[in-house]
Amino acid sequence: MNGNDSGPRRLSARRFVLLATTIAGLGGAALFMAPHGALRSGAIGTPAQAQDLSARAQQLPQKPVGFADIVEKVKPAVISVRVKMERPGNSNLNDNEEDIPFPPGSPFERFFRRFGMPNIPNGPQVITGQGSGFFITADGYAVTNNHVVQNAESVRVTTDDGKNFDAKVIGTDPRTDLALIKVDGHDFPFVKLADTTPRVGDWVLAVGNPFGLGGTVTAGIVSARGRDIGAGPYDDFIQIDAPVNKGNSGGPTFDVDGNVIGVNTAIYSPSGGSVGIAFAIPAATVKNVVAQLRDKGSVTRGWIGVQIQPVTPEIADSMGLKRAAGALVAEPQPDSPAMKAGIKSGDVITSVNGTSVRDARQLARRIGTMSPGTTVTLGLIHDGHPRTVTLTLGTLPNEKQAANEPEQHQDQSADIDVPKLGFTLAPASKVSGANASGVVVTGIADGGVAADHGLEVGDVILDVGGKPVATPADVNKGVAEARKEGKHTVLFRVKSGEGTKFVALPLGNA
């Protein structure tokens, strides 16, 4: 089946073989072990024990014996979404290449390359795709995935009772893969986005249009929360084991109260079909995004203007931190709210408005849910000491501005070898095309410490141990000082073509 979306994105990865035994109890049924000797006597136990077991059984939470009542309530609000789009010919496609509906280099383009997409023949053509969605208002607003309707020339939805309607795309958000569409009409059945976060182990129902079979219901549980599958900077997926297949994209996952806890958007699948691992965008994210799409057709996010990275155990050790937590500021961007607030490279952001930050990704998600113009208080570790700063969020730029590093021509006469760390260095001022500050890596030893930790020829070392460096001697001095202080690693701040980052190199015998 051709299409803009043949269903949830399939993650091509290693096959996992899992052996499991499941015992499911519905309707509050309980299994009790009889006391020793009870089977011979035909009794469960003493009257007091029997009464205690009965009381305990009555206290167990009652769950539905089946899901028919819930399905009858929510299924009319779920729709099938079909799209048409014209695709120009592409003579570069071959039998092994994948058709990917996202801009080259985007997070979802990289994600889709791990999913396996249908091959598209060469030559101009009209292709069709299908997915799922659900009404959230009686006047026809519905939610689906961005990758279902992206670039669609026309969108048509089919309701549970078989009626067809043309739909208009109100707005999309590629960063979260959500879209809001609108059908003209009124009195449509609709469902509510959940106000609470589901627990791992809670029952869930997925309803959608797998393989074009509209109105399909599957059941399972919440398998995990907070999953990061590498789709984008705001990954926070709910993992479910309710079977989800091609065509389920954009469809809802319900709790046993009939509220939508997530929007199905991706599956893990070595084979192309469901293997019991699916991912849904949480309702809290959907609420925030949909509200903005309905109000203005696009999504704006808060921005503090820092390049951040995780605090690894090695980095924590080199900085003298008690634990590896928070988001390490590699570099504040010029004229950003962070720079204006005095945040500097090497600061570790540990909290937002008094709530701790676990890692760099959690910081990005938390700031991204806030509106530009919001005032926030950030907790920092600055030069080894706690500090708080207050700033006003800016607006996240639409496109990430990549630094274009000039080609660096090495002046081998300036190289100074640092064999124990596995690289050769030269002052940046002596290397053609390099910046005036820092020390340039002019050579990397295969299998050395620097190579193992991702340093490359052309990288510019800006700081060592928190101090600026201008010569290879400064680098050696920084390493020696770290050893003298009893540290097991030394922290380098390095600038490359991908931006600025911190790298913790183990000292060993360096």
**pLDDT digit string, tens, across residues 195-221:** 999 999 999 999 999 988 888 999 999
Least trusted range by pLDDT, from 175-189, 312-326, 424-438, 449-463: 424-438
Instruction: Please answer whether residues 237 and 282 qualify as being in contact, where contact means their C-beta atoms are separated by less than 8 angstroms.
Output: yes
Residue 47 host element (H or E)? helix 47-59
What number is the average pLDDT over the span 82-98? 55
Average of per-residue pLDDT values in the chain: 78
Is 397 in contact with 371 (CB distance < 8 Å)?
A: no
Using CA atoms, how far residue 208 sits from 63, 105, 244, 460, in Å, is: 24, 30, 8, 52
Answer for the pair 308, 349: CB distance below 8 angstroms, yes or no: yes
What is the predicted pLDDT for the residue at 230? 67
Distance CA 233, CA 220 (A): 28
Stretch 429-435: mean pLDDT: 59
Residues 423-436, mean pLDDT to the nearest whole number: 67
Specify the DSSP element, H or E, that contains 328. strand 327-332
The band of 360, judged by pLDDT with boundaries at 50, 70 and 90, is confident
Residues 331-335, mean pLDDT to the nearest whole number: 88
pLDDT for 148-179, tens place per residue?
Answer: 998 889 999 999 999 999 999 999 998 899 99
Sign of the dihedral defined by the CA atoms of residues 170, 173, 174, 180, in that order: negative
Backbone φ and ψ for 424, nearest 5 degrees, come out as -110, 145
pLDDT tier for residue 287 given thresholds of 50, 70 and 90: very high
User: Position 135: which residue type?
Assistant: F
Q: Yes or no: say if 117 and 137 are a contact pair by the CB < 8 Å rule.
A: no
Residue of 216 and 119 predicted with greater confidence: 216
Residue 380 bridge partners (DSSP): 349, 387
Phi, psi of 288 (to 5 degrees): -65, -45
Q: Provide the 3-class DSSP secondary structure of residue 77.
A: helix
Per-residue confidence at 124, pLDDT binned at 50, 70, 90? Answer: low
pLDDT at residue 403 tops 90: no
Mean pLDDT over 422-434 rounds to 69
- Alpha-carbon distance of 482 to 60, in angstroms, equals 59
DSSP state of 187: -
Whether residue 98 contacts residue 109, with contact meaning beta carbons closer than 8 Å, is answered with no
- For every residue of 157-181, DSSP letters joined together read EE-TTS-EEEEEEEEEETTTTEEEE
Percent of the chain at pLDDT > 70 equals: 74
- Structure-token pair, residue 144: 């689906």
Contact assessment for residue 169 and residue 183, using Cβ atoms and an 8 Å cutoff: no
Residue 235 pLDDT greater than 90, yes or no: no
Residue 251 has a pLDDT of 95
Domains of the chain and CATH, by start: 1-13+63-295 (2.40.10.120), 302-395 (2.30.42.10), 412-506 (2.30.42.10)
pLDDT interval class at 319 (50, 70, 90): confident
What are the backbone angles phi and psi of residue 39, rounded to the nearest 5°? Answer: -65, -35
Burial of 112 (0-12, 13-18, 19+ CB in 10 A): buried
Distance CA 143, CA 155 (A): 13
- Closest to 278 in 3D by CA, of 245, 234, 236: 245
122, HSE (Cβ side, Cα atoms, 13 Å): 8
Identity (one letter) of the amino acid at 295?
Answer: D
Residue 402 has pLDDT above 70, yes or no: no
Top-confidence residue, 161 or 127? 161
pLDDT digits (tens, 9 = 90+) for 485-497: 777 788 888 888 7
Catalytic sites, residue numbers: 147, 177, 249
Q: With bands split at pLDDT 50, 70 and 90, how would you rate the model's confidence at 22? A: very low
**Which residue, 431, 296, 311, 437, is CA-closest to 372?**
296
Q: Is the pLDDT of residue 305 over 50?
A: yes
Average pLDDT over residues 479-487: 80
